[in-house]
Amino acid sequence: MRLEELVKKNTPGVGANVQLFVTPESLNDFAQSVATMTAKEIIVGLKINEKPLSEKEASKRYNKSRVSFSKYRKQGKIRHHRLGREIIYYDSELREDLANF
């Protein structure tokens, strides 16, 4: 039975109160999968038609260190996006942001 079916109020044999027992590991896995799916939906919603760059790819393309990219991110100088735990960039945004300083 899926989670959505369990929490519906009118499911035969299931009351309004449902108890779920989970391990910390399975809860962490669930949270990671929700975060990844949500991030993918947001990126699709942005309708950006270019391939995202990983931090490693971006640093190689723009001849900057990963430390520099981290510093620029923290200072708000460059735009970035999170896909789960991974930080990604879009080439068009990086070109524009790096040209401004």
Contact 92, 61 (CB under 8 A): no
52 within a domain of the structure (yes/no): yes
Q: Is 97 left (phi over 0), alpha (psi -120 to 50) or beta?
A: alpha
pLDDT digits (tens, 9 = 90+) for 35-91: 888 887 777 766 667 889 999 999 999 999 999 999 999 999 999 999 888 999 999
The verdict on residue 33 lying in a domain is yes
Model pTM? Answer: 0.54
**Domain count along the chain:** 1
Whichever domain contains 94, its CATH number is 1.10.10
Q: Give me the pLDDT at residue 23, please.
A: 92
Q: Which domain holds residue 80?
A: 24-99
DSSP states of 42-53 = HHHHHT--S--E
64's CB contacts (< 8 A; 6+ apart) are 58
